[in-house]
């Protein structure tokens, strides 16, 4: 899928002041309702999945143009706005511990939208798998700490989640969308935002990793015991309880067998996953197990995974930290009024609708 968007997201301390966040809630709600009214629910979901548009959206509602809070605060404002406006858009999840509420919130919002049980479960699966992929199949050194799933009353969805690197002191944002998503494990992102690309990233979602993914599944289904015998004659997968490392010939990478969850690999063998997506779904299948399988697939079968980093702005009201200039509160409140007025008038009739749109165009 096409990669779109680049953003500089350094970690910044501090919180959005109450006077600003309240306005962000109102303006993000007005913008969302305008897009839904003028276009469709699907179009709003589509725009959220575009990193360029999302970055502009956060800038328009007045947050820092290049901080990690660009994602978290804007998402929080949107979530609050959708609670206040009954327009068929729901937001589940959030930052830190709030992200863990996503499954329950998805169920609650789906009930309000009268979505079927099957559709609700597919939304919960999308939330879970998008997070699993970006923490496990894509190993770039950024640990997820923010996750939202935004979905419409028809079940279309977008995921916006963010990871943090304590070492680099930067954040990285990942965008997903249900439209045209064939599976969760081959280039599923609509965009990955970062300020810097890392030298070595294990990207099991790359097309170049397709054969490595296939072999990883075959290794598990064929019984990991066989692979251990091929490596050094051990008789059981569970024999690696003693400290042991395997250095890949011609590689700088090392498999630390003591830190690989061997019980999980055994469990995966018993489940017999049909594909790589099912393999990732196995409880306990984490980054170390994924990396171990990828390296074994490489050293034994010559199916190397991709080690290339897959990762590839707009001012209106100023930013919280005064970058590029302090927030103009009068202009901000006027923006809210104009957009709300445009949406209300658009619902009256075509003549008033055109007048409202012209007003909005003149304002912009």
Classify strands 191-193 and 170-177 as parallel, antiparallel or unpaired.
antiparallel
pTM of the model: 0.78
Contact 194, 70 (CB under 8 A): no
Domain segments of the chain as ranges: 18-197, 207-301, 329-363
Can you give the pLDDT at residue 255? 54
Contact 346, 339 (CB under 8 A): no
Q: Which portions of the chain are predicted below pLDDT 70?
A: 1-16, 63-68, 224-261, 312-328, 331, 335, 338-339, 341-364
Here the tokens at position 250 are 């011609």
What is the per-residue pLDDT across 270-322, written as a single tens digit (0 to 9) for each?
999 999 999 999 999 999 899 989 988 888 889 999 999 998 633 444 555 55
Can you give the pLDDT at residue 65? 47
Can you give the pLDDT at residue 238? 42
User: What span, in angstroms and rounded, lies between the C-alpha atoms of 93 and 99?
Assistant: 4
Can you give the pLDDT at residue 104? 98
């Amino acid at each position: 899928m096409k990669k779109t968007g680049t953003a500089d997201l350094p970690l910044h301390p501090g919180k959005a002041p109450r006077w600003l966040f309240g306005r962000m809630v109102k303006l993000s709600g007005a913008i969302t309702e305008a897009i839904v009214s003028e276009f469709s629910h699907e179009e709003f979901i589509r725009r959220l999945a575009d990193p360029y548009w999302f970055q502009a959206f956060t800038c328009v509602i007045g947050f820092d143009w290049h901080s990690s809070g660009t994602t978290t605060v804007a998402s929080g404002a949107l979530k609050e706005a959708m609670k206040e406006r009954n327009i068929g858009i729901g937001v589940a999840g959030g930052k830190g511990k709030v992200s863990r509420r996503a499954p329950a919130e998805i169920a609650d919002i789906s009930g309000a939208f009268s979505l079927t049980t099957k559709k609700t479960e597919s939304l919960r699966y999308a939330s879970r798998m998008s997070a699993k992929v970006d923490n496990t199949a894509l190993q770039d050194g950024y640990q997820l700490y923010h996750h939202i799933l935004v979905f419409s009353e028809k079940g279309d969805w977008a995921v916006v989640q963010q990871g943090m690197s304590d070492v680099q002191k930067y954040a990285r944002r990942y965008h997903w969308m249900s439209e045209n998503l064939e599976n969760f494990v081959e280039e599923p992102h609509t965009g990955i935002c970062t300020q810097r690309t890392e030298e070595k990233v294990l990207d099991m979602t790359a097309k170049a990793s397709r054969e490595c993914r296939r072999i990883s599944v075959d290794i598990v289904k064929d019984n990991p015991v066989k692979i251990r015998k091929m490596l050094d004659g051990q008789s059981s997968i569970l024999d690696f309880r003693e400290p042991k490392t395997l250095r890949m010939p011609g590689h700088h990478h090392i498999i630390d067998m003591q830190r690989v969850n061997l019980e999980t690999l055994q469990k995966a063998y018993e489940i017999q996953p049909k594909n790589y997506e099912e393999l990732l779904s196995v409880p306990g299948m984490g980054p170390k197990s994924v990396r171990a399988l990828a390296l074994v697939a490489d050293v034994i079968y010559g199916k190397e995974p991709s080690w290339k980093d897959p990762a590839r702005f707009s001012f209106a009201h100023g930013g919280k930290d005064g970058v590029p200039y302090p927030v103009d509160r009068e202009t901000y409140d006027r923006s809210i009024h104009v957009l709300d007025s445009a949406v209300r008038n658009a619902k009256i009739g075509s003549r008033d609708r055109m007048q409202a749109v012209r007003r909005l165009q003149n304002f912009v």
